[in-house]
Structures are given as structure tokens and as C-alpha cells.
A and B are shown apart, each in its own frame.
Chain A
């Protein structure tokens, strides 16, 4: 898969104590070849919103220069909203302690 140098998924988990954290992370990529596959350029400065199971806003982060983001959530069901110029995308994700939810998201 072409990813323009970005590692698929979120930032490195080195130094993060996964026995205590419920990580939701990922990378936002463009659909490079217009084929429905997220193999295009990483999207820096997209804004990712984390909503709880009631749809209540919990946190928001911008993506880094590699299009990556990370949340430290609590175990359970969450919704991510991806905002970028002209783009709004929602997706569901489950967080669990010990196993990071690592996402590859195409916009």
C-alpha cells in the first residue's frame, strides 16, 4: 500500500503504558487513486472530535504533519468526527485498555 511515507495507523506507542490507557488513534489519508483505498497523502491539521456514547463532546485534537492523532479514552463505545476543509466524516470505535484502537481513515 502506498502511504507517502506515513506509517499506517497512529503515532508510535513507545513509552505509553498500555496496561493503564485505552488508546484510540489513527491516521487520516486522502483517497490517492480515487479507488476507495486510503493510499493518498496524509491530512495534516484535520480536526478529530471524540464524542462519548451519548454523543457528548469529550475531546478534540488536530492531526500532526503525518496526519496522525491519538486520544486517551476510557473503555467503551465512542464516535469520532473528522473535520477538514470541505469534509465531515463520522465513525464508531470501541476503546479497550491494553489494546489500542488503531485506525486508517480515508477522506
Chain B
């Protein structure tokens, strides 16, 4: 993977608004944003209602994912272009999700909804009608997804990257600062994890930094990219962003997103926890 195959610019979007091979999909944390206005022709996926199982804490089944894409007129050869608010957090999560189910051509708008808004580019309210397809997903690719037991086994052995803010890493905050500070789980981080906040990889306008800068952020923090890496945050969205940086932009293949993340790890009985910087 590379920047050229994984990212598109806002100019590219403007040139491809009518391209029948392209489907734009908005995925937001604040799910009211799409109704307020979205890129012309874009559909939206709800990060919880569409992408979470709802009964079990897990991704939706292959069959449900196929039904979601079919209903929304996405075919196996569609170029899916994702974007969203909050620096593409949930859009990169959706990107990772599309890769889990083996979609061939999925990309992200560099800068996401924020850059689109800061450039004062047009947003519309019209919801497009798309003809249904028969989408066939692949079996889940768990080479990019970490589960709790391998995370515990990775302590002191593999790279563990905590991409939350320093205040969450140290145990000062339990959640990102735009959310109420609640949660039954304890505060802190997985021992031996390096704190490399996802935001280090992004410019202020939401675009990604260039590859040389991105590499130096990880290597400068003491991450040996030759070793396997597990990224985590609170619920797996911000770590999908960092997974995207490592796996898709820097082409580091042995990187997994731990989507159980701190809400799972911080609730496990008896596992080691570290606090402080």
C-alpha cells in the first residue's frame, strides 16, 4: 500500500463526483453531521447501527456486511472513498473494516470532512438513491486485527502503541476530552506500551504528514518497525487511524489494530496495568 493507492485529495474528489465507479461514504462519530450536509452523492454508514453487531461486542457478520454494501449499491469492483469528521477517526475505522472483509479498492479523503469544510467546499442535503448490488465479502482477515490474549502476550515482547492522548495514557483522563469522563474501567495503559498519540500523524487541517515525518515519529519514539506492532486506543477508532498510517501509508505489514482497546483491556480482571507517563 502507499499514499497513492490509499488516499485521495479534495481536488480528486471534486473531479470524481460523477464518476460511476466511485461511491463516497461518510462515517462520523457525530452521526448528525451527514444530515446537516455531505459531499454530493455520498451515502453514510452509522458507526454503531451499521458497523457493530449490537448483541455481541464485535464487527457485524460477513452476511450483514454483504447486505449493508448490497443495499447501498456498492459492488465488489466499486472504488469506495471514505471520509468523516473528527480527523477521519471513524472513516479510518471503516477503512480498516473494509480491509477486514477484503474490499479491493478503498481509499480515504486526506483531511476528511474537516479539510472539506475549511476549504468551504460545497455540502448538500440530498440523499442519493443507489441501485442495489449483490456484494460478496471475503472471510475476515484477522492478520490486521488483534485480540486480547495476543495483546497480553505482547507485553514486553512486541511493539504496543497506545495512540490515545497523553492524559489518557497516564491515567489522568478516562476518555477523550470531548466526552464525559466516565467508564467503569480503571485508568492507565498496557505495560510497555509506547504513547504515540494518533494526532502526531496529522496536520492541523486533518491531512496526514509526509512519510518521512511519519516514520520518524514512530522510530523516534523507539518503535522498531521490523517487529510486530499492535495499536490500541479506547474503542479502536483512533488506533485504526494509526494502523492506517503504519500499514497503508508506510507499508508496514505486521501491524494490527486492537479494537477491543482500553474499554476491554481496562476491564479485564488481573491483567497488569501501568500509570504515569
Contact = CB atoms under 8 A, between A and B. Distances in A.
Given A72-B180, A83-B204, A62 B120 contact: no
Contact of B166 (A52, A62, A88): A52
Contacts of A57: 165, 197, 199-200
Contacts of A58: 165-167, 176-177
B44 interface: no
Interface in A51-95: 52, 54, 56-62, 65, 70-74, 81, 83-85, 88
Given A54-B166, A56-B166, A57-B165, A83 B118 contact: yes
Interface stretch (A26-34, A42-50, A99-107): A42-50
B179 interface: yes
Interface in B152-174: 165-167, 172-173
Interface residues of B, number: 28
A47 B87 CA distance: 10
Contact of B178 (A65, A72, A84): A72
A45 B165 contact: no
Q: Main secondary structure on chain B at its contact with chain A?
A: loop
B235 to A, nearest CB: 15
A16 interface: yes
A85 B119 contact: yes
A50 B177 contact: yes
Contacts, number: 70
B86 interface: yes
A7 interface: no
B117 interface: yes
A20 interface: yes
Contact of B86 (A60, A65, A70, A71): A60
A15 to B, nearest CB: 10
Contacts of B167: 52, 58, 74
Given A56-B165, A62-B30, A20 B181 contact: yes
B19 interface: no
A84 B118 contact: yes
Nearest to A57: B199
A62 B177 contact: no
A83 B117 CA distance: 10
Contact of B36 (A16, A50, A65, A70): A65
B258 to A, nearest CB: 21
Contact of B177 (A16, A20, A72, A85): A72
Nearest to A74: B172
A72 B175 CA distance: 9
B178 A71 contact: yes
Contact of B85 (A59, A62, A70): A62
Contacts of B118: 47, 83-85
Contacts of B173: 74
A47 B111 CA distance: 13
Contacts of B176: 58-59
23 contacts: A16-B180, A47-B114, A47-B117, A49-B204, A52-B165, A52-B167, A56-B199, A57-B165, A58-B166, A59-B177, A60-B86, A60-B87, A60-B178, A61-B178, A62-B86, A62-B114, A62-B117, A74-B172, A74-B173, A74-B177, A83-B205, A85-B119, A85-B120
Interface of B: 30, 33, 36, 85-87, 114, 117-120, 165-167, 172-173, 175-181, 197, 199-200, 204-205
9 A-B pairs with least C-beta separation:
A57-B199, A59-B177, A85-B120, A59-B178, A58-B165, A61-B178, A71-B177, A58-B177, A59-B176
